[in-house]
Structure 1
Amino acid sequence: MRTIRLLLALLLVSSILVGQTKEFSKDYFLQKSKKQKTTARILLGGGTAMAVGGFAKFDSSWDSGSASTTDIAGIIGTVGFLTGLASIPYFISAGKNKRTAMSITFDYQPIYLSTDNLVAAKAHPTLSLKIKL
């Protein structure tokens, strides 16, 4: 009897968990795109500054022959270059999210109902999503 109650409770909880869905709205995708674009710009700007500064110091310290300064400047320049490259996926994701947000529309669509030899049209709010293949 105890196992039947436990199984029934698990069945009820699992049906509730499966039934919950997260709604994605146009604002959600636009906000996500904006955050990703901001992150990408910060990575690109910071990476470019680090790369230019690091490689400029690397070039000037290469002539003087200071090994420790040359190593540190080279590492900073390389990390800056890689940081700039890391911004590319963020720009791509931001563009995809913005296109997704632009394809979501909120509209009123007519639904035709038949009642006693009459056809009536009622407008119901709809949320449509264009999927380009």
Structure 2
Amino acid sequence: MKKTFIFLILLLFIIKGFSQTTPSTPFSKEDYLEKSKTQKTTGWIFLSAGLAITTVGIIGFANTDDIYDNSTDTYGALILTGPLIALGSIPFFISSGSNARKAATLSLNYQPIHIPNQGSLVQSSQPSLSVTITF
């Protein structure tokens, strides 16, 4: 019993030692934009690979003469795995959009406006709130 208790205590220390910690500095706008771009690229790669694999499977299956040939099993597997790979791109697109929204900046700017004043236009500036989303 004593050995088991000591083992469990040591196990708890080991688990705590390998756990993740929060970063000391928060992510900047550039970090979120780079992460968003990488995830979007990965999503497009998964989507196009899934569509290409499915297309190869369909074309190969349509060109086989013997349905009971071993190659039809391969084409059938391609037809089934292609859409699964394409569906795997959805989480990457969702994460990309989430990170892009985190990188959006909110700023206060002054927009020039023209105000009519006794038959002429006077240029003045008006404060405006702008949201900038960079992709």
TM-score of the aligned structures, taking structure 2 as reference length = 0.58
**Number of positions where the alignment pairs a residue of Structure 1 with one of Structure 2:** 87
Alignment of 1:43-122 (within 5 A): 43-61=46-64, 63-103=65-105
Distance 1:53 1:43 in 2: 15
AA at the equivalent of 2:41: T
Percent of aligned positions that are identical: 39
Match of 2:41 in 1: 38
Look up the SS of the partner of 1:64 in the other structure: coil
Distance 2:61 2:22 in 1: 59
Distance 1:86 1:35 in 2: 15
Q: State whether residues 26 and 104 of structure 1, in contact with CA within 8 Å, keep that contact through their aligned partners in structure 2.
A: no
Distance 2:40 2:63 in 1: 34
Match of 1:21 in 2: 24
Distance 2:44 2:61 in 1: 25
| Structure 1: runs of 5+ lacking an equivalent | 1-17, 106-133
Post-superposition Cα deviations, 1:9-29, rounded to whole Å, max 9, x if no partner, equal xxxxxxxxx896132100000
| Structure 2: runs of 5+ lacking an equivalent | 1-20, 108-135
CA shift, 1:67, in A, is: 2.6
Distance 1:80 1:50 in 2: 5
Kindly indicate which of the two structures has a greater share of residues assigned to helix: 1
Distance 1:19 1:65 in 2: 56
Post-superposition Cα deviations, 1:75-112, rounded to whole Å, max 9, x if no partner, equal 1121111100100110010001001100476xxxxxxx
Match of 2:133 in 1: none
Runs of 4+ in structure 1 deviating by more than 2 angstroms, as ranges, are: 63-67
Distance 2:77 2:33 in 1: 36
CA shift, 1:65, in A, is: 2.2
